[in-house]
Structure 1
Amino acid sequence: MEEEIESRLVFKEGEQWQAECGPFTTFEKLEHEGASLLIQAVDHWHGESQGLVRCFRFLPNWRIDDLMISYSTPQGGVGPHIDNYDVFIIQGLGKRHWRVGEKSELHEFAAHGALKHCESFAAIIDVELEPGDILYIPCGYPHEGYAIEPSLNYSVGFRAPDQNDLLSSFTDYNIDNNATPERYTDRVMQLRERPGQIETQELRELHRVMLANCQTPEALIPWFGKMISEAKHELDIAPVEPALENEEILQLLEDGAQFIRLGGLRAVYFQQAATSLFINGLHFDCTGFKELGHHLCDQDEIGSEVIDLLHENHGALTLFTELVNNGYWYAE
């Protein structure tokens, strides 16, 4: 019912699929069979749901996307489709019938402006999920699920940017950050008998100029750290007002406070650049206190275990105070 929340209602009118995007003022369609309400990034807004995402921390944080929760009335679903990312589906309330097919080239089409379906497929998994069951569906495998009775499903998806996403983002980054871009120049210009021909050495030079800013994996770090730490969905950020001072942060920790990372906040570092933190699309330098930076990225909670470090290292304390004042960590 709120603007910041990404939600959809999916249902059928006769044989025609329909989809409506929130916010919603009425939920009358959920009084009938064959309807589903899907809400993205619930972990960004609902503190208790973050515990479910933590169960998947055995996988890299940068791959975890969000927690999507769906409620379906009997026969409710979104139709047969293929996702371009891996997903774990946890059954909550009720039962749901799932079919998963082999990965193959299937025709895909728009069943509605907000629904992409695939053609029918033979099932290699055909199962009813009951509360507590988990179904893992790898990227590219067709699947469909329909509620047998009123059901809640919890889906944890994983980011998998494609070439176009990466190239587009890298280009935008260079436009914003490269004030003196290298320009193509001719190494040797000679009289041409074929002026319409682009010669091999010219194409090679164009290729070199285009790749000049990404010749090594390490050259991608400033861009990719910013890109992958940006939230895909809205965050419930509430900056601290009035801002806290360093001493107040220390006092809170000494009084036993636990600081919790904001739901959905992305915080990463690179093995090749251990003193650079990337949090919510911003770069922070933790030279001299990388242990704190890594702890912030690896753990969802921070408490008394860092008191000594913050007492001993003014830079570490100043950074953590800034992150708290930004609303990225909050005292519980």
Structure 2
Amino acid sequence: MDYQLDIDWKDFLQRYWQKRPVIIKRAFKNFHDPLSPDELAGLAMETEIDSRLVSHDEGRWQVSHGPFESFDHLGETNWSLLVQAVDHWHEPSAALLRPFRQLPDWRIDDLMISFAVPGGGVGPHLDQYDVFIIQGTGRRHWRVGDKGVFKQHCPHPDLLQIEPFDAIIDEEMEPGDVLYIPPGFPHEGYSLENALNYSVGFRAPSGRELVSGFADYVLAQELGSERYSDPGISLREDPAAVLPEEIDALRAMMTDLVQQPEQFNHWFGEFISQSRHELDLAPPEPPYQAGEIYDLLQQGDSLQRLGGLRVLKVGTEFFVNGEQIVTTHQAAVAALARDYQVAASQLGDALEDPSFLALLTALINSGYWYFKN
């Protein structure tokens, strides 16, 4: 389905993005759920898919993680099922992410879908990333507070909540409504009736993740092999002292690694194009031959990108799922990065180049793209 999101993006970015939360009523007009609660429950039974069940009874919270075998033991109130990265596994649901591509692809993470019965929710909490919450079937009551410092507590080892907060948003959401919550704003939502919610989460790497990821790259590429040297070393009264200029020189050795644009960009492309969740990879059997792919495209078949696959451009380089796409046909690769569905016309003359056709064949045989029936 082609979902149309009614948001004035320029106004939204100026007034709300990472500034304050907002409910946008009827942002999706005539909203239709891309899946049913039963289909969501079926996904939660799959081993490869991250899911959890959160319930509470008189202040006692319980959390269990999938895969689940049955939901027959659950009552009619106070529980919710949450399934992560549904866009990786359910193509109609993945379409919900596309209206948010006014924001850059590298920032969009995944689509989490939750089904909750009356009273179902995960309690008051904070997120450290931006999120758009789309209301599907049913109604849900949301409270959002102002940014501040909140005492945290763990009613369950797998559930981090915060103390009660004063609300600046206190409203019911109906199908097609969208709630945007920036990082650090406390919020809680409880279903008023059986309801589906769709959460578009955004990736926000921490400094720790960046340093750790870049350090791994430095080791793998054997960078930074130059050793510290001090031909101008000076005498000092205290042999135990490390002088400020020596600390500066050591820090410079480290920052010089980061300040190599070519290496940094290449690392970041590999790092940020990797998905944080499993992909529904299904390499074709038997693998395609290059000639078969050429013929299918020329006959009018189109290629569909795998749900959740991250295809990004950093500088002049393109990356897919942690690997660089090496080719001189920039326009053709740009089409693969830009468009979810690609036909021969978008790939142009690149299809006549055996080296590009071999590259495309390898990508398809990896399960990254497939021919849509």
TM-score (norm 2): 0.84
Q: Distance in 1 between matches of 2:351 and 2:116?
A: 52
Instruction: State whether residues 250 and 307 of structure 1, in contact with CA within 8 Å, keep that contact through their aligned partners in structure 2.
Output: no
Residue from 261, 272, 277 that aligns with 2:318: 277
CA contact (8 A) 1:277 1:286 kept: no
Which residue of 287, 302, 307 maps to 2:342?
Answer: 302
User: Which amino acid counterpart does residue 301 of structure 1 have in structure 2?
Assistant: Q
Equivalent position SS for 2:87: helix
- Give, as a single letter, the amino acid of the residue that structure 1 aligns with 2:290: N
Q: Is the 8 A contact 1:83 1:140 kept in 2?
A: yes
Cα distance between partner residues in 2 of 1:239 and 1:186: 54
* Partner in structure 1 of residue 268 of structure 2: 224
Q: How far apart are the structure 1 equivalents of 2:346 and 2:56?
A: 54
Q: Secondary structure at the match of 2:350?
A: helix
What is residue 100 of structure 1 aligned with on the other side? 144
Distance 2:280 2:53 in 1: 23
CA distance in 2, matches of 1:13, 1:278: 47
Q: Which moved more, 1:216-225 or 1:14-23?
A: 216-225
Alpha-carbon offset, residue 89 of structure 1? 0.5
Aligned to 1:286: 327
Give 1:138 shift.
Answer: 1.0
**Residue 318 (str. 1) matches residue 363 (str. 2):** no
- Deviations along 1:259-288, one digit per CA (max 9) or x if unpaired, are 110000001112x3x2x221001112122x
Distance 1:129 1:110 in 2: 27
- Measured after TM superposition, the shift of residue 307 of structure 1 is 5.3
- What per-residue deviation string (whole Å, max 9, x for no partner) do you get for residues 206-245 of structure 1? 1011112111444411111011011100001111222212
8 A Cα contact 2:218 2:224, kept in partner: no
Q: 1:119 to 1:312 in 2, by over 3 A?
A: same
| Counterpart contact for 1:7–1:40, Cα < 8 Å | yes
For residue 240 of structure 2, what is the aligned residue in structure 1?
196
Amino acid at match of 1:244: Y
Contact 1:246 / 1:321 at 8 angstroms: preserved in 2? yes
Per-residue deviation, 1:145: 0.2
User: In structure 2, do the counterparts of structure 1 residues 30 and 67 end up closer, same or farther at CA, with 3 Å as the change threshold?
Assistant: farther
1:185 partnered with 2:229:
yes
- 1:43-94 CA distances to partner (integer Å, 9 max, x unpaired)? 1011111111112111111111111000101000000011010001011111
After superposition, the C-alpha distances for 1:88-111 in whole angstroms (9 at most, x for unaligned) are 101111100001111112222222
Out of 299-308 and 248-257, give the one that drifted further: 299-308
Matched, 1:242 2:242: no
Aligned position for 1:56: 100
Instruction: Return the alpha-carbon distance in structure 2 between the equivalents of residues 249 and 303 of structure 1.
Output: 11
Q: How high is the sequence identity, in percent, across the aligned residues?
A: 48
- Counterpart of 1:11 in structure 2: which amino acid? S
Distance 1:102 1:217 in 2: 39
Q: Equivalent residues in 2 for 1:77-156 (5 A)?
A: 77-156=121-200
Distance 1:147 1:249 in 2: 48
1:3-60: CA deviations, max 9, x gaps? 1110000011431211111111121354331001000001101111111111211111
What is the identity, as a one-letter code, of the residue corresponding to 2:320? Answer: I
- Quote the offset at 1:321 in angstroms: 1.5
Cα deviation, 1:268-326, whole Å, max 9, x if unaligned, reads 112x3x2x221001112122x10011111111110132353234333322221211111
Separation of aligned partners in 1, 2:84 and 2:77: 22
Structure 1 residues 29 and 13, CA gap change in structure 2 (3 angstroms): farther
TM-score normalised to structure 1 length: 0.95
* Selected match of 1:66 from 110, 120, 144: 110
Question: CA distance change for structure 1 residues 255 and 286 in 2, over 3 Å: closer, same or farther?
Answer: same
Q: Which residue of 2 aligns with 1:75?
A: 119
Tell whether the 8 Å contact from 2:332 to 2:347 is kept in structure 1 after alignment. no
Structure 1 residues 30 and 326 mapped into 2: Cα distance closer, same or farther (>3 Å)? Answer: same
- Structure 2 unaligned blocks of 5 or more: 1-44
Segments of 5+ residues of structure 1 without an aligned counterpart are none
From 196, 203, 209, the equivalent of 1:159 is 203
Counterpart of 1:7, as a letter, is: S
